Amino acid sequence: MPLHILGPMVVIGIISIGIVLHLLGNSKRLVFTNADQVIERWLREHPETLVERVEISDTGHQAIVKSNAGIGIIWVMGFDTTSRLINLPVQTSIHPSGISIKLADFTAPRIKIDLNSETSRSHWITIFAKKEPSWII
């Protein structure tokens, strides 16, 4: 197929699929509403761990998990989730809607955590900043 036909067809096709998907409501994101939901999702990727504590961010799009294997972060990817055990301390930065953490992970280099209040921001920063965080909820 000539490139001058294939190229525009691919571009128009991709844009059309994106628009249709969005208009049909497929851009909605999962929201964590309770700890059990977080634990179920966490165990999907870390089946050998025991979850001790869970704390969910203000929008329900991220949660911090304390397990017997260490501290982890789980976050929504559309309707799904992904998670990482993290080596503390990690670098954090503040942004208007919360904080970001930087991981040495090419597939998850920066995770935004939605936190509305100054109190919760400083609480989460404290957790990420210490090698052995004290867990205060």
Partner 1 sequence: MDNLTFPDTVQLAVPFFIIAILLELAWITIKRRGGRYETRDAMTSVLLGAGNVVTGILLGFVAWGFYNWVWQFRFFDLGTSIPIIVICFLLDDLRYYWVHRFGHTIRWAWASHVVHHSSQHYNLTTALRQTWTGEFTGLMIVSVPLLLLGFHPAMVLFVGGINLIYQFWIHTEAITKMPRWFEAVMNTPSHHRVHHGRNAQYLDANYAGVLIIWDKMFGTFVPEEEKVDYGLVVNLGTFNPIRAAFHEWIGIFKDITQPNISLFDRFRYAFAPPGWSHDGSRDTSRIIKRKFVERHPEAKGKPGL
**Residue choice 106, 119, 131, 132 for contact with partner 1 (CB under 8 A):** 106
CA-nearest of 56, 27, 20 to 39 is 56
**Residue choice 34, 53, 80, 135 for contact with partner 1 (CB under 8 A):** 80
**Residue among 31 and 126 whose Cβ is closer to partner 1:** 31
- How far is CA 36 from each of CA 9, 104, 120, rounded to the nearest angstrom? 45, 28, 21
Distance of CA 2 to the CA centre of its chain: 42
Please count the residues of this chain forming the interface with partner 1, following the rule CB under 8 A.
Answer: 34
CA-nearest of 128, 80, 119 to 100 is 128
Interface residues toward partner 1, by CB under 8 A: 1, 3, 6, 9-10, 13-14, 16-18, 20-22, 24, 26-27, 44-45, 47-48, 75, 77-82, 84, 105-109, 111
